[in-house]
Chain A
Amino acid sequence: MRASSARPGAPPARSPLYSDPARLLVTFRSSHEVLRAEKYLKLRGLPVELIPVPREITSECGFCILTPPGTGEAEESGHIVAGMSIPAIAHGSLSGSPEGTAIRVESLWRVRERAVVGRHRKERLYERIDEVH
């Protein structure tokens, strides 16, 4: 269903070519959960974007959460987003969500991007960083 491994040729932790502050992209198992996750994260003060899942990740329709630039930088163990550590998000659940039940994360990606002169759309690289099942 979705890509289950890091993209081949994924760059090292800080590629000089993709120097914009990295973001995180989080997918969920259903559109209902992504909507709840957006509400939850915004309540916790994180201005996330809700966007269609990029074609690099899936060919199916779906929506995902994209975190602001700069939240994808830290070493995996140290990712802190809106007071939650990313491993906790990736491996566990977002407890305390508005409806009280946990929202389970399906996959977590680091997104590197760079503006390309003369093009309106940024170039993006996606690297899966949660545990591969």
Chain B
Amino acid sequence: MKAELAYQKMYLIRKFEEKCFELFSDGHIKGTIHTCIGQEAVAVGVGANVNLEKDIVFSNHRGHGHFLATYGERKVFELFSEIMGKQSGLCHGYGGTQHIHYKNFYSNGIQGGIVPISTGMALAEKHKNSKALTVTFLGDGTFGEGVVYESFNIASKWSLPVVFCIENNFYAQTTPVEMAHSGKLSERGLLFGIKTFKDTSNNITSIYNTAKEAFAFVRTKGIPVILYTETYRLSPHSKGDDFRDKKEIDKMKAIDPLITVEHQLEENDANKIKVKIDIMIEEAAKKAIESTKSKFVDLN
């Protein structure tokens, strides 16, 4: 994947998420948000392998990056509007940050619950012979839920075209992986005979290539895969204080995957991209702030 394109996509997500924090502080976003700052390499590396003509993406509570990296690239204003509860939002302000649907993109805010749903979508696509893949995003925390294992079992047994993409960012809210999970998360798939593609680099080029292999495997064989990645969120779980060790966070900030890509570009080129996206984000956010608030409508 070209460095310019990678940087552009990752920077868009970063800027969007940072803007969300600002909007939250200013009172334009209510409720809660779960940003993916630091995890852009996974969203973009995996997202770039999604066939936007037909593949399904099912994301979770931390889904802005997944959306912007796939079906949402040109829907920045509509995403801001959605998060701010405006009529111009993707879902008329009804879903908010965690419940987004646009084209073949879906998300829901229940840990684990989305896994059988996305497995079922793959079953339908297999029945329709559409050759579409279903990509579903799980976190490390998700592995506490039994329904995940039920879904792995059935997806494997029924040969369903799913990419279970795991983003292990080492913390589920405030609970570190070591406290919650026995065994290795990267080996969960082995129990079910699901081929696992592992990438612990948190590097866009590496993830893009690993994802490419994983997707090709599913497209060819029509059986599920696990795409296991390790990453790190540089922002708090939602918008409160971060209780993680400050030294650890600083250490991870120093190897920010966005900065790694930035250093692959000429300073001028990087700046051009930044300026363009900065302006676009500002304008989209401003337009969303000024948009009409959503009203209750009975959809029945």
A and B held together in a complex: no
Chain A positions within 8 Å of B, measured between CB atoms, are none
